[in-house]
Structure 1
Amino acid sequence: MLLVTGITGHTGRYFLQELINHKYEGPIRCIVRETSDTSMLDNSGLNIEKVYGDIHNEAFLDEVTMGVDEIVHIINIRHTLRVLKAAIKNDVKRIVSVHTTGIYSKFRIASEEYVIIEKKIKDILSKNDISMTILRPTMIYGDVCDRNMSKFIKMVDRFKIFPVINHGKSLIQPVNARDLGKAYYDVLMMPVEKAKSEYILSGEKPITMLEAFKLISNNLGKKTTFISFPLGFGVIMARVLKGITLGKIDYVERVQRMSEDRSFSHEEATADFGYKPESFEVGIAREVKEYLGRL
């Protein structure tokens, strides 16, 4: 049996679509919330068992991992340790877990928690007989429900004058959720002995932040003026905003990371399972079109 977390989420829905496209034949147990839209699951035609519960609850995780052979854990790196412990307790053979390239950030606020979690994971894996492959997407985009480009699209659409940090020259490599869904499926289908312990899943190629913003502006049909601000000024403004909103709006980390390069090679994924992400130009044009269609 296959257990999946986060299957109704942004990238999880594209993983589900891959299972549907390939007519996955085995039983699939999906952890979902009471508030989740499960219509895609219900109409999938697959052998799906929905289980409702709280992934924070160790007793619940212990119960849902019974009889499971493989796990695709998509929902959040912060839940991985609990999932891993339950999997070991119930003799699960393999886990494919979605984490982040944020672990490589030079800013401690962005990476420290991830480093601590993965250090604990490595220690547990070294003492137990279970296979685990960690997948590391870069900045995820692809639909107006994403938490990255959708926000930039709204901002560029709203403001004729748009601020960028350090001339927008830092590199990013956004990856489309559609490509991630395919990658999750391809890794799951790989023989355990051939899969590496981790793969970076990045977009087709690096682009600068300014290039990304200009593509958004062009697809919106806007004439946007981009003005550069130093990183320090941006961080100060983000902290002021955080203070004014009593922490409800916290963009400090986002602003800091806009000054560092976030481009990563996916050559190992390409070599091992044919990973070939689409271009950002194609993906962002589709997302802007979706955004405009909802206005």
Structure 2
Amino acid sequence: MTMSITIIGASSGPGRMLYEALLGDGIPVTGIARNPRNIPTNSTAQFVQLDANDTAALARLVNKNTLLVHCSRPEILTTLIARKPDMSRLIALGSTRIYTRFPDDKCARLAAMSHAIWMSEIPATLLHPTMIYGAPGLNNIERIVQMARMSPIIPLPNNGESLIQPVLASDVVKAIRACIDNHSSIGKTIAVPGKSPTTYRRFVELCIEFSGEKCRVVSIPITLLSLLAPLTHLLPGVPVITQDEVRRLLENKDFSTEDLDNLSIEPVALDVGLKSLLFEEKPKSDI
């Protein structure tokens, strides 16, 4: 019997993009999500509407011929693995957040998922992307653009000099597909960063520039930003900023692209990806 691909979290983010890419190539795939969100289907691609928190039902959907791609919350996979499901392979999407010096609840859930994967007997690959942008349902870029529309300034600590390495969602999908095709990825934890590091300030400035907003980045002391962050809960329309996010603004989050090189993937440069993404979203009268 031919191996089938099943995607948990197929209604948004990289999971949605992977599902549609496999559908477009005529590769048999089953998408699982709580909300169908107009997910297309055809003779080779089917969608199962299911709350993935129901891991008992989820376990019944996989078998020894299933290659499971997990693109949803880490605790769902942790619970599913505890049920000892029978599957051919597992490719799980985590996050480089797991490496932070300022761990939060999400880090704990990522660590628990990683532990569950490597303690199981499932042939697995674990992918840790950096900040993902350019996928349906993700709002990393939208939060910055929204703030630029609401305020003449965006404050960053330490002049925004900390390094980040955002990765375009389509590159994450390429990495997943490369792992599907490349069995040598089994047993590995793979970092999936963008092409090269940039400062947080430059990242925000590019978002402002390509969205056409009139806003500037200003440097403020970390102590002041920490005091202002709780107030974002009180301001309608302003993205909420947590204390954990403020602390992580001071942390360098740059990673080697060696793992992607080994998969023959060259990530898209940040300025190219952002320009394409934000120009596509602008009304034509604004371009």
User: TM bucket by the smaller chain?
Assistant: 0.7 to 0.9
- Unmatched segments (≥5 aa) in structure 2: none
**Separation of aligned partners in 1, 2:283 and 2:43:** 31
1:165/1:144 CA distance change after superposition, 3 Å? farther
What's 2:218 paired with?
Answer: 227
Offset from partner CA, 1:131-154 (integer Å, 9 cap, x none)? 110011100111574221121122
1:152/1:98 CA distance change after superposition, 3 Å? same
Aligned-residue CA RMSD (Å): 2.5
**Separation of aligned partners in 2, 1:93 and 1:30:** 17
Shift of 1:241: 4.1
- Identity among equivalent pairs (%): 23
What's 2:140 paired with?
Answer: 148
**Separation of aligned partners in 2, 1:188 and 1:219:** 34
**Separation of aligned partners in 2, 1:58 and 1:223:** 47
Q: What is the TM-score when the length of structure 2 is the normalising length? A: 0.87
2:189 is aligned with what amino acid?
Answer: E
1:84/1:68 CA distance change after superposition, 3 Å? farther
Q: Aligned to 2:62, which of 47, 62, 65? A: 65
Q: Aligned to 1:100, which of 69, 76, 95? A: 95
Q: Is 1:290 aligned with 2:254? A: no
2:271 is aligned with what amino acid?
Answer: E
What's 1:118 paired with?
Answer: 114
What's 1:11 paired with?
Answer: 14
Offset from partner CA, 1:140-199 (integer Å, 9 cap, x none)? 1115742211211221233222211210000110111111112111111112x4545211
**Separation of aligned partners in 2, 1:148 and 1:289:** 16
1:114 is aligned with what amino acid?
Answer: L
1:85/1:68 CA distance change after superposition, 3 Å? farther
Q: How many residues align?
A: 279
**Separation of aligned partners in 1, 2:116 and 2:65:** 23
1:112/1:236 CA distance change after superposition, 3 Å? farther
Q: What is the TM-score when the length of structure 1 is the normalising length? A: 0.84
Q: Report matched runs for 1:174-253 at 5 Å.
A: 174-191=166-183, 193-242=184-233, 249=240, 251-253=242-244
**Separation of aligned partners in 2, 1:213 and 1:114:** 27
